[in-house]
Amino acid sequence: MENKTKKNHTWIGVDQLNKGAEFQEAVEREFQDVPLADNVEKLATNRRDFLKYLGFSLGAATVAASCDIPVKRAIPYVVKPDEIVPGVATYYASSFVNGGDYCAVLVKTREGRPIKIEGNSLSSVTGGGTSARAQAVVLSLYDTNRFPGPGKMENGRFTQTSWAEVDKAVKGSLSANSRVAILTSTVLSPTAKKVLEEFKAAYPDTKVVTYDPVSASALLQANEECFGQRVVPNYRFDRADVIVSFAADFLGTWISPVEYARQYAANRKIEDVHKAKMSRHYQVEAAMTLTGSNADHRVLVKPSEQGAAIAALYNEIARKAGKPTVSAPRVNDKAAALLKQAAEDLWANRGKSLVVCGTNNKGEQVLVNAINDMLGNYGQTISFANPSLQRQGNDPDVQQLIKDMNSGSVDAVFVWGANPAYELPNAEAFAEAFKKVKLKVSFSGMPNETTALCDYVAPTHHLLESWGDAEPKRGMYSLIQPTIAPLFDTRQAEETLLRWAESPNLNIEAEQPYYEYLKAAWERDMFPRQTKYATFQNFWDMSLHDGVFELEEQEPSVAFAGDVQAAAAKITKPANSELEIQFVETVHIGNGQYTDNPWLMEMPDPINRCVWDNYLMVPVVFDGHRHFDCDGPFAGFNQEEFYGYADQAEIEIAGRKAVVPVVRQFGQMRGTVGLALGYGRTVAGKAGVNVGVNANPWLTIDADGNTQYFNTDVKVLGKAGKYEMASVQYHHTMGVTGKLEGSDEVINVDEQAVTTIKEGYQGALVDRTIIRRANLPELDKFVEELKEERREAEHLNQQTLYPYEEYKEKYYSQGHHWGMHIDLNACIGCGACEVACMAENNVPVVGKYEVFRHHEMTWLRIDRYFYGDYENPNVVYQPMMCQHCDNAPCENVCPVSATNHSSEGLNQMAYNRCIGTRYCANNCPYKVRRFNWLDYTTADLFPINENEVNGEAIYADNLVRMVLNPDVTVRERGVMEKCSFCVQRIQEGKLTAKREGRKLEDHDVKTACQTACPTGAITFGDTNNEKSAVRKQYESELNYIVLEEIGVRPSVQYKARVTNKVEELG
Amino acid sequence: MSQPVSPIREPLITGHKTYHDITEDLVSPTEKTTVSWALATMAAALMLGYGVFCLIWTFWVGIGSWNVNRTIGWGYDITNFVWWIGIGHAGTLISAILLLFRQKWRTGVNRAAEAMTIFAVMCAGLFPATHTGRPWFDFFMFPYPNTRGPLWVNFNSPLLWDLFAISTYFTVSLLFWYTGLVPDLATVRDRAKGLRRKIYAFFAMGWTGSAKHWQRFESLSLILAGLATPLVLSVHTIVSYDFATSVLPGWHTTIFPPYFVAGAIFSGFAMVQTLMTITRKLLKLEDYITIAHIESMNKVILLTGWIVGTAYLTELFIAWYSGYIYEMFAFYNRVFGPYYWAYIGMMGCNVLSPNIFWVKKFRRNVTITFFMSIFVNIGMWFERFVIIVTTLARDYLPSSWSYYWPSWVEIGIYLGTFGLFFTLYLIFVKVAPVVAVAEVKAILKTAGDQYVGVEAAKKAEATAH
């Protein structure tokens, strides 16, 4: 061996050849650790190298330093407040109050900034539900258009001054016998009412004039006449098996929609298919409201026919009750037939029925009270225990004030929470009269048409900066507490009034004078009324913690004392005009109180799905073959709606002309049109200025001085050009039907028209597995069919190369698997979830033009589909968001794996990885993915390419950015985004459970849409947890999966829509 | 004339050309600059410039400067991408498959067709690269080793397959084209002087025309042809996967690969026709790109047009036969929906109009051929538009239906690709022989009109007598 080795010996160096001892040692050691220092001398940098390195680093540093990177300072607390833990949200119970709009809420704050509104489930009024208006209030806090402090107004121009100066000026022009008018919208706060009393004590000649932006004045007057109580009674929709509503949009806007929606849904949800029971709802109206769209039957009457319709129902019931009938004009035949059926239903359900009326005519309201009285509903479904105080305005008062101002008998007017120069039907007359008043002050925090006319602005705090209380229903109190220090130099209006009244009860030396005042008031008035807490401090702390303090009232006995015959004489008489217009309050922006809020402006109208505008809603007619057109004078309008263009109509109402864009509206009665209130503001925050048409000047005032929300003098002058229609959904239906021309055959118009080039109605084939609906009597049959169809779909889905069952067993059944359930029967389409989602997930607002281009960013949308008779269809709403498919088509097409599946069944987006090919969005069958087309959030590299919303790059301002949820990434231009199932909340819930060392439970994780929903239509949870609510919901036989047969395995289940129609009525 | 002369076979080179004539005719355009060339190049460059401006605008403002929307995520971008890729099919088909089939007529048009392929693929590649929301991160598409985990690309995604397919196709086509150019570049070099000579010498890679060179050249050509042949089929097959692997009715069909490939050849040949009819006129190459060439290509157009037409009809039949409501509606919508005009355009241009080529007279008419080639490309553009936009516009959920129309930026970028294409093509005709000199010479003795065809036969007869 030795020899052989030697023979073939090769060597690398002399050392190896010689095999000296040193070499042997080196071989043995293998890894030599020669100290580097030994060689330092050789490596030492010489002078030239040193100069080279120096030169390079200097050059590099210079180049790097020339890039100007702005310094952002984060200043830590010197003494950290106990309640603020960075990264942990703090919730404060408070109330959302704007005039008569009320909602008990929890305000979520992060690092001292309110960023989100949640419902307060301790409130028995709203029960944890919210509305879109309540959800959006956080954005209005950070509105850059707010007044920075008190100021003097000259010719509508604002000059900031100091509070001392304003106080001096106001007090200087007031004397003890000054005739002061305080003009307010509904004041819900009992303490604020005391403030007004104190002010009255100081200035005895003070009148408080209250009106509501959308009035319920006649309702209050009628109840005063009939029952001696000027209140809105306590309606109990949950106890009513038959509901008849005359133009009362109680689910959307009327009095207390969050409360009513919860009650309404409670009696509409179907828990057990085989013992299904639900209320039947008739809605009598001309323009489709949110409530009407949810009704089982809509009874179409013209606005001027409402009185006749009410009288017709009254007479039907009176005949059954053996009471004298009233003489009244006849209502149209179709309506009469339906009302007859309604009367049958009502009579059969005496004491379990409810008739409500939203018209502002005292006679009509008295008749409705009489109907309810004959039906024995008082004490059952209507009660005067804890009646609602959410509308307190009296229209004649404000008309009287205008007269008084004109006659010079008013020295000073303080406007508080109202905008009469815009909201009143005779706003111009108001403005004229207002100018004659010597001292005019507004407490508004935002510029509006009225502040422009004032002498001084004494801006009050934003709601979220205020102390206060509210009494939405008698005996039901709730508190308002500040969640952030005032952002501007504002002062609460109550405090301002007390200072001007020089109230001895206000300690102006205190840090928060009004807080002390409020607390004292509660100690004096509220504390003695309860027995639970022994000390006031205890009581106060708990009330503040809970946000509510409620006292149940005993059911009082009431007797109807209305004069029915006199009332019948007062009802509206049907007009003979060819065209009538109904003015409707929208769910989102009211009568202009919310037009400053971009979230609400961008929330699509639930019915016509348009944003950032009020469109003239025009009825559609069907040619009996395959073509839809607009009715009557609008024939030929909006033929290009599905290309994104509307036609503008020039209309003349009561001599006043305007140009309005038109939208075709199914369910709008022929011979009528509808138009939303609240648009066309001329002085407002940037988002609201010059958007749409102001409808208020067209309102009329009836003999009682009440504002009427319709006009019968409407002329159409013609087309006035094309309009870029900012609509998120055109009028594709789920199968509307109509009669075939020349026969009685009822055809499905969508199917009929599908093969018509261009001119045809652009409908869909209707057997789409998207919406499942049934009528109550045939529910069992429906369930069987649904089962069969789902079996078939599952069979198809099994035909796959990929072992889904195996994945399911191996992955999806392990740990958590998040799922959602949506009850379409409980969803009323109110849109609270849409706004909540925008707030929670930093979803940007894109503006009118971008929505026109279908660039809206909403992660959650509520699809609206019509079905049934084209003239009077039913509507189904479908909240649609990412379905988190377990076999997601979006995931496998992403070239960079930016969207992928979590082990918990979530379809995730890694924004940083996304390059924006948009393939995922194309391949999404539900079209829920949203792409950042432009720099919507001011989050990208380029400094001057932000998208402007009504002339304002809103997110470019640091104040507005304070509303952003720090838990959710703000997405850059060019990346895809979509619903994440509120993954930040899931993560937080998991951490909470982990920290507490227990299993995760339902209450740990609730999505933003779920908590916002007033009716509890949305359930979210872990489908692998057998005890979870969502698992329980998954058991219903009415459940289905949208597009189940395409095998994408969504994690969202829907519960079919069920109506309770009288079949013969169709 | 010792060899037999076929009176039936049509000559592919006319005008009794000698080898020297061929060199003169084909190389001389590279040696002089004409006013018309300069004007055309300037116009093309201007269009290119406008396209570049529109691209910069897109990068600065965002994809929001295009009119694509939440429902229709791809519009002009991918329509144009697929269209250009389709056009890029003819070159390799002519060079590779026709080479393997020993089709001699390919020699007249292969060079230009290959160049067209390369430029068309460049135009096509521009769209996927720039249609992304954040094009500066396009490199995420490449599976390069990284420190993010490492985070790999998603090999399931057809877009990734596209990337590989197209880059491979581009590389092979470029090699093929350049290989073919080498002997001709040497010819140009031999005629050139000064710096020009040096440049051509560099690119000719020392070609001397020795037998060994020719032998290697032939083998390399064959190898590349072998490589390129499957690519012709695979590239558009994979492009069609972008649609076929999706879940959308109208996209999710197994017919797409052959249908796309046939369509690509269809449009590619049409584009070759467009270019060749112009080029032969302007560069006076009627003797090399003869009516026989044009007729051959028209036959291919007629065939592929019918394949495509059959595919359209099959789609309609299957949609009806499936009984599946979404599938049925997708096709109702194609025909009767808001984009009915695109469907009419597609059917009219692609299925109806090529039937004119059943008539020999029309097949051999240059003017008709020119207009037909434009028609076919319009039709093929509509086909892509129909598949992409019409399908996306109305899919499953009626709530999300939408309409799309390009913005000025999108139109600008499309025009810009024409600018790019023609700029490159015009530079190409200026720097290299637009007809393969060596290959034409190679067939002169078997396809020149002094050797084959009626005249030559008569002549041969006369000499024999």
ipTM confidence score: 0.92
CB atoms B70 and A855 under 8 Å: yes
The residues near A709 (Cβ < 8 Å, ≥ 6 apart) are A214, A303, A359, A360, A582, A583, A584, A677, A699
Nearest CA in chain B to A765: B329
The residues near A43 (Cβ < 8 Å, ≥ 6 apart) are none
A293 and A413 inside one domain: no
Taking chain A (1066 residues) in runs of 10, the rounded mean pLDDT of each run is 54 75 71 50 66 80 62 73 82 93 93 92 92 94 92 90 93 89 93 93 92 93 92 93 94 93 93 89 93 93 93 93 90 92 93 93 93 92 92 92 92 93 92 92 93 93 93 93 92 93 88 92 92 92 92 88 89 90 93 92 93 92 82 86 89 93 91 93 90 93 91 91 91 81 83 72 75 91 94 90 81 89 94 94 93 93 90 92 93 92 92 93 94 89 81 85 92 93 94 93 92 94 92 93 92 94 75
With beta carbons under 8 A apart, name residues in chain B contacting A756. Answer: 336
For A887, list phi and psi in degrees, rounded to 5: -120, 65
Q: Which among A729, A893, A976 has CB closest to B159? A: A893
d(CA A784, CA A672): 42
Model confidence band, residue B435 (pLDDT cutoffs 50, 70, 90): confident
A339 and A467 inside one domain: no
Average pLDDT over residues B142-160: 87
With beta carbons under 8 A apart, name residues in chain A contacting B332. Answer: 754-755, 765
CB atoms B132 and A855 under 8 Å: no
CB atoms A925 and B141 under 8 Å: no
Nearest to A346 by CA among A384, A373, A383, A386: A373
Across the strands, what pairs with A93?
A106
Task: Indicate whether B41 pLDDT > 80.
Answer: yes
CB atoms A975 and B140 under 8 Å: no
Task: Suggest the residue from A752, A920, A924, A946 to mutate for an interface test with chain B (most B CBs closer than 10 A).
Answer: A924
Q: Which among B70, B153, B399 has CB closest to A931? A: B70
With beta carbons under 8 A apart, name residues in chain B contacting A934. Answer: 61-62, 64-65
Give the Å distances, CA to CA, from A425 to A14, A328, A422, A866, A988: 111, 28, 8, 34, 50
Which two tokens mark A313?
């129902």
Q: Which among B140, B329, B400 has CB closest to A915? A: B140
With beta carbons under 8 A apart, name residues in chain A contacting B238. Answer: none
With beta carbons under 8 A apart, name residues in chain A contacting B403. Answer: 642-644
Establish whether the linkage from the previous residue to B183 is cis, with ω within 30° of 0: no
**CA B157 and chain centroid, separation:** 25
A654 and A791 inside one domain: no
Question: Could you tell me what percent of chain B has a pLDDT over 70?
Answer: 98
With beta carbons under 8 A apart, name residues in chain B contacting A1046. Answer: 247, 396
d(CA A587, CA A175): 43
Inter-residue contact B441 to B214 (CB < 8 Å) = no
d(CA A698, CA A711): 7
d(CA B195, CA A947): 53
Inter-residue contact A522 to A543 (CB < 8 Å) = yes
Nearest CA in chain B to A734: B398
d(CA A1066, CA B4): 90
Q: Is residue A987 part of a domain?
A: yes
**CA A524 and chain centroid, separation:** 37
Q: If you search the block for the tokens 């009320």, which residue do you land on?
A: A102
Q: What is the pLDDT of residue A87?
A: 84
- Residues making up chain A, counted from first to last: 1066
Give the Å distances, CA to CA, from A955 to A69, A557, A837: 20, 55, 17
Inter-residue contact A857 to A846 (CB < 8 Å) = yes
* CATH code, A368: 3.40.228.10
* CATH code, A164: 3.40.50.740
Task: Indicate whether B428 pLDDT > 80.
Answer: yes
Domain limits for position A892: 773-1059
Q: Is residue A155 part of a domain?
A: yes
With beta carbons under 8 A apart, name residues in chain A contacting B326. Answer: 768
CB atoms A914 and B134 under 8 Å: yes
The string of pLDDT tens digits covering residues B223-280 is 888 888 888 888 889 999 999 999 999 999 999 999 899 998 899 889 888 988 988 8
Task: Indicate whether B1 pLDDT > 50.
Answer: no
Q: Which among B62, B68, B141 has CB closest to A895? A: B141
Number of domains in chain A: 5
Domain boundary assignment for chain B: 19-133+152-447
d(CA A602, CA A366): 38
Nearest CA in chain B to A727: B402
Q: Is residue A928 part of a domain?
A: yes
Q: What is the pLDDT of residue B225?
A: 86
Give the Å distances, CA to CA, from A453 to A373, A438, A444, A500: 46, 12, 12, 21
Inter-residue contact A614 to A675 (CB < 8 Å) = yes
Nearest to A388 by CA among A453, A470, A466: A470
CB atoms B131 and A917 under 8 Å: yes
CB atoms B340 and A757 under 8 Å: yes
Q: Which among B62, B154, B248 has CB closest to A933? A: B62
CB atoms B337 and A762 under 8 Å: yes
Domain boundary among A387, A422, A451: A387
A834 and A951 inside one domain: yes
Task: Suggest the residue from A920, A933, A935, A1048 to mutate for an interface test with chain B (most B CBs closer than 10 A).
Answer: A933
Nearest CA in chain B to A928: B70
- CA of B304 vs chain A CAs: smallest distance (Å): 29
CB atoms A913 and B151 under 8 Å: yes
With beta carbons under 8 A apart, name residues in chain A contacting B73. Answer: 918-919, 921-922, 931
Inter-residue contact A851 to A284 (CB < 8 Å) = no
A191 and A249 inside one domain: no
Task: Suggest the residue from A923, A941, A1046 to mutate for an interface test with chain B (most B CBs closer than 10 A).
Answer: A923
A198 and A238 inside one domain: no
Q: Which among B151, B159, B335 has CB closest to A917? A: B159
Q: Which among B138, B246, B248 has CB closest to A915? A: B138
Q: Is residue A1001 part of a domain?
A: yes
Please list, residue by residue across B348-386, b when 16 or more beta carbons sit within 10 angstroms of its beta carbon and e when fewer do: ebbbebbebbeeeebbbbeebbbebbebbbbbbbbbbbb
Q: What is the pLDDT of residue A69?
A: 56
Nearest CA in chain B to A770: B397
Q: 3-class SS at A153?
A: strand
d(CA B77, CA A396): 62
With beta carbons under 8 A apart, name residues in chain A contacting B159. Answer: 893-895, 917, 919
CB atoms B336 and A893 under 8 Å: no
CB atoms B153 and A897 under 8 Å: yes
Nearest CA in chain B to A930: B70
Q: Which among B247, B325, B340 has CB closest to A765? A: B325
Nearest CA in chain A to B136: A915
With beta carbons under 8 A apart, name residues in chain B contacting A972. Answer: 134
Nearest CA in chain B to A929: B70
With beta carbons under 8 A apart, name residues in chain B contacting A918. Answer: 63, 68, 73-74, 131, 133
**Angle formed by the axes of helices A395-406 and A427-435, to 10°?**
40
Q: Which among B326, B338, B394 has CB closest to A643? A: B338
CB atoms A895 and B69 under 8 Å: no
Q: If you search the block for the tokens 């067939």, which residue do you land on?
A: B443
Q: Is residue A741 part of a domain?
A: no
Q: Is residue A274 part of a domain?
A: yes
A416 and A463 inside one domain: yes
- CA of A802 vs chain B CAs: smallest distance (Å): 14
Q: 3-class SS at B397?
A: coil
CB atoms A765 and B61 under 8 Å: no
With beta carbons under 8 A apart, name residues in chain B contacting A945. Answer: 60-62
CB atoms B63 and A974 under 8 Å: yes
- CA of A693 vs chain B CAs: smallest distance (Å): 26
d(CA A1045, CA B247): 11
Model confidence band, residue B4 (pLDDT cutoffs 50, 70, 90): low
For A827, list phi and psi in degrees, rounded to 5: -75, 120
A596 and A724 inside one domain: yes
Nearest to A772 by CA among A665, A881, A865: A865
- CA of B131 vs chain A CAs: smallest distance (Å): 7
Residue A506 has, within 13 A of its CA and on its CB side, a CA count of 21
A720 and A786 inside one domain: no
d(CA B2, CA B460): 9
Nearest to A814 by CA among A904, A920, A716: A904
Nearest to A361 by CA among A218, A252, A558, A542: A218
The residues near B149 (Cβ < 8 Å, ≥ 6 apart) are none
With beta carbons under 8 A apart, name residues in chain A contacting B246. Answer: 889, 893, 922-923
d(CA A639, CA B275): 43
A375 and A412 inside one domain: no
The string of pLDDT tens digits covering residues B272-313 is 889 889 888 888 888 888 888 889 889 989 999 999 999 999
d(CA A944, CA B262): 47
What's the pTM value of the predicted model, to 2 decimals?
A: 0.89
Residue B301 has, within 13 A of its CA and on its CB side, a CA count of 37
Q: Which among A765, A856, A947 has CB closest to B70? A: A856
With beta carbons under 8 A apart, name residues in chain A contacting B335. Answer: 755, 757
DSSP H helices, B205-353, are 211-244, 256-282, 291-322, 325-336, 340-346
Concatenating the DSSP letter of every residue in A310-325 gives HHHHHHHHHHHHTPPP
